[in-house]
Structure 1
Amino acid sequence: MPDYTTLLVDEREDRLHVALDRPEVRNAIDATMVAELHDVCDRLEREPRILILSGTPATESRKGVFASGADIAQLRERRREEALAGINANVFIRIAQLPMPVIAALDGFALGGGAELALAADFRIGTPSLKIGQPETGLGITAGAGATWRLKEVVGEPLAKEILLAGRVLTADEALAARLITEVHESADLLDAAHALADRIAAQDPLAVRLTKTVFHAPREAHPAIDTLAQGILFESDAKFARMDAFLAKRASRTTKGNPA
């Protein structure tokens, strides 16, 4: 992997763990980080693997943080043309559309653009110290990188409006109750939990996972045709025959031993 300046990357055979690494500004998302995230997407579009996104881990002297938002110093200077270019929105769309699942491991602040980056993931898990929300209207702007439409799909319209229009910031317990996150772990255990989830995904057939993600995110009018096409592809795959043969052999073995379960 390239030698990034705002990201730390742990590369494995079936996954990439990408940690945002601007702790001096609470991992504020600046133009360099956006460019480096685009580079990560280039790699994962060519070589599909699971992506784990995290921030700066907690230490004895420092609280963990995912991302405090977009870099306000840079955001202050952007004008209409930069807004219309969708600088952050475009990279978050690429992350959401990656072939394999994306896991966001959230510790501490996940605010503004940090929350929108988390919303682009397929899975979100957090720590008890998580604070997640969209404070953009308090800064005189809107959440322009996905929250205005992704958030209500996840938590429903009433809560999404409270977060977007009234500046409500959710705690970990509130985010869990709203299903904005699905697991809560102590900071020291967060990455292990993210890798455990990645392990469960990696145990599935990769092509089946890729096609299921594609079908899941297809527009309503594309169904059932896209489901049928995906199944047609998978019905001819070597993995389908190997995995089903293994299942049948295991069941036959159990039946022979007098245990039909």
Structure 2
Amino acid sequence: MSASCTTLLVEEHADRLVVTLRRPEARNAIDARMIAELHDVCAELERDPRLLLLTGHGGVFAGGADIAELRARRREDALHGINSRLFERVRRLPLPTVAAVPGWALGGGAELAYACDLRIAGPDAVFGNPEPGLGILAAAGACWRLRELVGESVAKQVLLAGRRLDAGAALRCGLVLDVVPADRLLGEAHALLDRMARSSALALRLTKLVTDSAGAHPVADDLAQAVLFEAPDKEERMTRFLEKKGDRT
């Protein structure tokens, strides 16, 4: 996959994909080519579910969407949901996704980070949605997804008042899991993925599915658990746990 990408660096591992946004001439701004390549990444992870780590090249996550392309878009483009369909596809990937944010994550870049399951930040990370200043709104998920992540008050501060959340503010409001030194950002993100990779992939997948379901119902929990109770992985993991416990007594 990586050979055909011009805006992404893609590293394939047995249990994860590491995808780096790379348009250094435009602060990794998300353009049509990057959107198409990220759709290819999603297709790969839908065919072969693995964890996903998203980050940005050169100390920036993504400085926004490509403004020149946005200026040319009209009503039909908005109705096609060019960015929003991609970010929702990222959100619905089978296994957990992590955004490692080293610096600016603005506009569409912030919305891509919001679409991931978890975010970890470097000390220079900044999240913001300046779209109203350009005569548009943050229409790729921020207007509702950010409210779910940080609450209505903080979301309105960002979306209406133009507040930018630095790394410390993002940590305090729960937008990011942790803030770590820049030289440890990818290492800590991989350590987080390592912890998840030690869990049952099927259990992670069903937990994510139930957690993301709108108006989740106890029946959804029961059905997902019923699948897991019949999986060989559950029997093996619980047997190992009980054997280790017996060894300690």
Q: What is the TM-score when the length of structure 1 is the normalising length? A: 0.94
The residue correspondences of 1:138-177 to structure 2 (distance < 5 A) are 138-177=133-172
Distance 2:2 2:27 in 1: 23
Q: Secondary structure at the match of 2:224?
A: helix
Correspondence 1:223 to 2:217: yes
The equivalent of 1:41 in structure 2 is: 42
Distance 2:171 2:36 in 1: 31
1:117-159: CA deviation from partner (whole Å, max 9, x where unpaired): 0000000010111111100001000000000000010111011
The equivalent of 1:258 in structure 2 is: none
Task: Kindly report the root-mean-square deviation, in angstroms, between the aligned alpha carbons of the 2 structures.
Answer: 0.7
- Aligned AA (2:91): A
The equivalent of 1:180 in structure 2 is: 175
The equivalent of 2:238 in structure 1 is: 244
Correspondence 1:128 to 2:123: yes
Q: Is the 8 A contact 2:2 2:9 kept in 1?
A: no
Identity percentage over the alignment?
A: 58
Distance 2:39 2:171 in 1: 29
The equivalent of 2:32 in structure 1 is: 31
Rg (Cα) greater in structure: 1
Distance 1:209 1:112 in 2: 30
1:30-50: CA deviation from partner (whole Å, max 9, x where unpaired): 000000000000000010000
- Aligned AA (1:165): L
Find 2:209's aligned residue among 187, 190, 214. 214
Q: Secondary structure at the match of 2:199?
A: coil
Distance 2:182 2:70 in 1: 30
1:185-211: CA deviation from partner (whole Å, max 9, x where unpaired): 111111101100000000001000000
The equivalent of 1:54 in structure 2 is: 55
Find 1:74's aligned residue among 69, 73, 78. 69
Distance 1:182 1:231 in 2: 27
Distance 1:171 1:21 in 2: 22
The equivalent of 2:22 in structure 1 is: 21
> 1:164: how far off?
0.3
Q: Secondary structure at the match of 1:52?
A: strand
> 1:2: how far off?
4.3
- Runs of 4+ with >4 A deviation: none
The equivalent of 1:235 in structure 2 is: 229
Q: Which runs of 5+ in 2 are unaligned?
A: none
Distance 2:41 2:202 in 1: 20
Q: Secondary structure at the match of 2:192?
A: helix
Q: Secondary structure at the match of 1:10?
A: strand
